[in-house]
Structure 1
Amino acid sequence: MIDIRFVRENPEAVRESQRRRGASEQLVDELLAADEARRSALLAFETARAAQNELSRSIGKASKEDRPAILAQAKQKKQEVDDLDKAAKAADAAYTEANRAIDNVVLPGVPAGGEDDFTVLRHVGDIREFDFEPKDHLDVATGLDALDMERGTKVSGSRFYYLKGVGARLELALLTMAADVAEANGFTLMITPTLVNPDIMSGTGFLGAHSDEIYYLPADDQYLVGTSEVALAGYHKDEILDLSGGPRRYAGWSSCYRREAGSYGKDTRGIIRVHQFNKVEMFVYCRMEDSIVEHNRLLKLEEQMLAKVELPYRVINTAAGDLGSSAAQKYDCEAWLPTQNRFMEVTSTSNCTTYQARRLGIREKFEGENAAAATLNGTLATTRWLVALFENHQQADGSLYIPEALRPYLGGKDHFDPVA
């Protein structure tokens, strides 16, 4: 949800956010009308209830002759109050629905437009010049006996796989290094639930336009998460946080599940788009005024990880129309894929301002008053990174170069040999 006081005071700013997202401006007017109706209905109810209370107090003071008439008035007033209470609750529900229909208000500097309208902030690292014809990640992994797509499909269907041998070790090394980086920078490491209740999934903003990407288990009325962001956002639901000592930072390690409903025909080869993967995700609760600093901090940590695995990449500022409903701004790091001659997203970090916290009832105490906290998230490592590692670090003889920072997690090995 968005701050209704901000909408009342800055309606044009919210309309501009809608325009930049390619969303309806009319929703802003509908929200303001619903807000006015809600406040009017609540005032009518509270005025009638005050009159009812005054009337009730007068019954004991009334004479015997006047009491029947006052009791009749009290009965009539009770019905009026009950009707106004129902009207106020209906108006409040309509207001909530109108508020939830509007995505988070984007921050200044977010480009307008859709998926292709991002701005590139910087390129980092040199794109490798191969003196041989590079193989794609699936062929490299197959040569190392690190990945089995065929049996993954046999057991679970398309877009499932087995990581095996050096593939499994490489993923564990990558995620463990990410966990170490997180802990070294003040994050509490957590193994999070991968099944969550509807109020948690809805509260994070994932049950909107892209809800078809989420696995739902109707027998249990629960959802499989596509990121540990969901469970970490729900961790402090309906709580008041003391952030006087600074932000609260968590790093969630979990398996993640996505239906990839909108990706038919895209990246069908290998493990670029799959239904199940593992990820270490950073999550921060902070004061709103600290959110931009924290956002830049998350991005810096993501870039530190990419430097450790020696991948060339670029950083983009995602356009408003390509943001999720909860994000006010999002930066992506995209690693270079030699065989596809393109960049591929490997990390994403979002500033969700107070949008998720309002929906989940998470507040922070500041100078004696409670205010909605800000939440942020960012990917520190995930299975998809293996795609870029296999492609960028392959050698002419079929072996795989191991970046120096990963070697302590792999018994000191500096390469993996292909299977004979």
Structure 2
Amino acid sequence: MIDLRLLREDPDRVRASQRARGEDVALVDALLSADELRRSSGVRFDELRSEQKSLGKLIPKATPEERAELLQKADRLKAEVRAADAAQDEADAEAKRLLLLLGNIVHEDVPVGGEEDFVVLETHGTIRDFGAEGFEPKDHLELGEALGAIDMERGAKVSGSRFYYLTGVGALLELALVNAAIAQATEAGFVPMLTPALVRPRAMEGTGFLGQAAENVYHLEKDDYYLVGTSEVPLAAYHMDEIIDADKLPLRYAGFSPCFRREAGTYGKDTRGIFRVHQFDKVEMFSYVDPADAEAEHRRLLDWEKQWLTGLELPFQVIDVATGDLGSSASRKFDCEAWIPTQGKYRELTSASNCDGFQARRLSVRMRDGKKVQPLATLNGTLCAVPRTIVAILENHQLPDGSVRVPEVLRPYLGGRELLEPVSK
């Protein structure tokens, strides 16, 4: 959530942020009114409680005649205090409800617009000219089936559409990617983590995934658990309700977990293969930092993602995501998009988001610097979303005979194998 002081002192900035996101600007004024009512009802309750305490001191000293009148007044005050307390709780609950609906304040440098209004910041690598090499590239599913690596048919039979099996070298390729990603993250100072895939509502709400993203979250109603769509959720909640000494920052974690997404609203999009699926594995970087270091850490996360994709020898571009395509928690987000030859375009492989103090306030994660205690900043960055990375590797490194060259960075994790070769029928 945002800092309420910012809302009170500069509501126009908050309105501008909501407008840029394409969200309801009227929410800002509703929250201002609710906050004012919350504060005034608190003042009224405190005044009545003070009067009640003062009256309580007078009663023992009063004469019998005065005591009867004072006791009647005490009864009236008791009812008023009870009503004021209830009004204060109601006003506080409404202010909190509205505050949770408000997105993070977007960074001033974020391009304004929707999904297609991103700005390309840089490009890396060379896009292969398959025509010049004398063959037409196959898509990842055709390659994966020939390699004995991907089985969509049985995935659909067992679990339905957008499910799959990784088999043989496909399974080995996933394990190689995960091990290589964790190795890079560990070398960079991240603590490797295996995180829960089921979380309580507060963890999911605290990270901002029960707002605009709620339609893509799986909810187990009987037990009131949520399946995470990213290990960002359990990593953000790891230090929930804790105060961390400033000299221990930054804290960096690399989480590996299964991820689950309903993919609501994507009917007919990316239905072939494993680019957009309901379940996948991912290695996620997560940082807790001093707010003053948040922007620099954001760039560091992006640099680690660029290092990873460069090591996989993939052509990619870095984009500054537009305001209307940000998640509610992010003030700014950079995506790395890899070139997918058979689609003839760049597609998202990694994201790096700066959430400032937005998640920390919701989850009550604070830092202590001397006597000062304040929310810290959280950031997250995808290092390896496995299925999409496999898509990019198969398509970009394919050879005319249907085999696939293994990037050097992965060979130590595949027993030194240089090629993935088609299996015999």
Q: Normalising by the residue count of structure 2, what TM-score does the alignment of the two structures yield?
A: 0.97
- Matches of 1:303 and 1:185, distance apart in 2: 13
After superposition, give the CA deviation of every residue in 1:283-323 in whole Å (9 maximum; x if it has no partner): 11111111101111100000100011000000000001101
1:29 counterpart letter in structure 2: D
Q: Which residue of 1 aligns with 2:67?
A: 67
- Matches of 1:404 and 1:410, distance apart in 2: 10
After superposition, give the CA deviation of every residue in 1:239-283 in whole Å (9 maximum; x if it has no partner): 111132321111110000011111100000000000110000011
SS of the counterpart of 2:45? helix
Q: Which residue of 1 aligns with 2:20?
A: 20
Report whether the alignment pairs 1:406 with 2:393.
no
Q: Which residue of 2 aligns with 1:370?
A: 373
Percentage of pairs with the same residue:
55
- Matches of 2:192 and 2:13, distance apart in 1: 38
1:228 counterpart letter in structure 2: S
1:309 counterpart letter in structure 2: L
Q: Which residue of 1 aligns with 2:242?
A: 239
SS of the counterpart of 2:259? strand
SS of the counterpart of 2:64? coil
SS of the counterpart of 1:260? coil
2:391 counterpart letter in structure 1: V
- Matches of 1:98 and 1:278, distance apart in 2: 34
Q: CA deviation at 1:129?
A: 1.2
Contact 2:339 2:392 in 1 (8 A): yes
**Stretches of 4+ aligned residues off by more than 6 angstroms:** none
After superposition, give the CA deviation of every residue in 1:199-252 in whole Å (9 maximum; x if it has no partner): 111111101122111111111111100000011111111111113232111111
Contact 1:330 1:350 in 2 (8 A): yes
Q: CA deviation at 1:64?
A: 2.5
After superposition, residues 7-46 of structure 1 pair within 5 angstroms as 7-46=7-46
Report whether the alignment pairs 1:358 with 2:367.
no
After superposition, residues 15-164 of structure 1 pair within 5 angstroms as 15-130=15-130, 131=133, 132-164=135-167
Q: Which residue of 2 aligns with 1:418?
A: 422
Q: Which residue of 2 aligns with 1:167?
A: 170
Q: Which residue of 2 aligns with 1:295?
A: 298
Q: CA deviation at 1:146?
A: 0.5
Contact 2:249 2:288 in 1 (8 A): no
Q: CA deviation at 1:24?
A: 2.1
After superposition, give the CA deviation of every residue in 1:141-175 in whole Å (9 maximum; x if it has no partner): 11111010000000111111000111111111111
The partner residue of 1:390 within 389, 394, 401 is 394
Report whether the alignment pairs 1:318 with 2:321.
yes
SS of the counterpart of 1:346? strand
After superposition, give the CA deviation of every residue in 1:122-148 in whole Å (9 maximum; x if it has no partner): 111110111210000001111111010
Quote the RMSD (CA, aligned, Å).
Answer: 0.9
1:249 counterpart letter in structure 2: R
SS of the counterpart of 1:281? strand
Q: Which residue of 2 aligns with 1:284?
A: 287
Q: CA deviation at 1:62?
A: 1.6
Q: CA deviation at 1:377?
A: 0.4
- Matches of 1:323 and 1:108, distance apart in 2: 13
- Matches of 2:359 and 2:403, distance apart in 1: 45
Q: CA deviation at 1:65?
A: 2.6
- Matches of 2:136 and 2:260, distance apart in 1: 34
2:73 counterpart letter in structure 1: Q
SS of the counterpart of 2:81? helix
Q: CA deviation at 1:7?
A: 1.2
- Matches of 1:369 and 1:221, distance apart in 2: 36
After superposition, residues 241-260 of structure 1 pair within 5 angstroms as 241-260=244-263
Contact 2:286 2:381 in 1 (8 A): yes
Mark the runs of 5 or more structure 1 residues left unpaired by the alignment: none
